[in-house]
Amino acid sequence: MNRGGKRENAGRKSKAEEMKLPLLMQEVITEDDWIEIFKAIVTDAKAGSFQHQKLLFEYRFGKPTQMIIGVEVEAANKKPSWFEDVVSDEDFETSPDLE
C-alpha cells in the first residue's frame, strides 16, 4: 500500500497547529502540578529506575554524543579519571537493575 504523494492531512502541521498543545498544557497543568511531576520523576530515579535517571540526565546535561570505537578499544574501555570520585565498585554490586 503506497502512502506517498499528496493527500489530506499529509505533511508537517503549521506552527499555529503545533503551538496548540503547549498552550493547552499551560492552561491545564499548574506550576504545583509540574513540581509534583518532577518530584515523582526524581523519586523514581533515586529508586533505581533507569528510564527516569536517563530522562533527568538528558534534560540536565543533554544527550551524550555517540562515540565511535576505533582501533584502540582498550582506551575506550578505560574509566575516566573523575569516574572513581563519582561511582564506586560497591554501587554496581548493590544496584537493583544489575541483579
Question: How sure is the predictor about 91, in pLDDT bands with cuts at 50, 70 and 90?
Answer: low
Q: For 2-30, what is each residue's pLDDT tens digit?
A: 666 677 877 888 888 888 888 999 999 99
| pLDDT value for 99 | 46
Sign of the alpha-carbon torsion through 44, 49, 53, 59:
negative
Task: Pick the closest to residue 25 from 10, 42, 11, 37 (CA basis).
Answer: 37
Q: For 34-87, what is each residue's pLDDT tens digit?
A: 999 999 999 999 999 999 999 999 989 988 877 766 555 555 566 666 666 665
| pLDDT value for 1 | 60
Q: Which three cell numbers stand for residue 41?
A: 520523576
- What residues contact 95, with CB distance under 8 A and at least 6 apart? 48
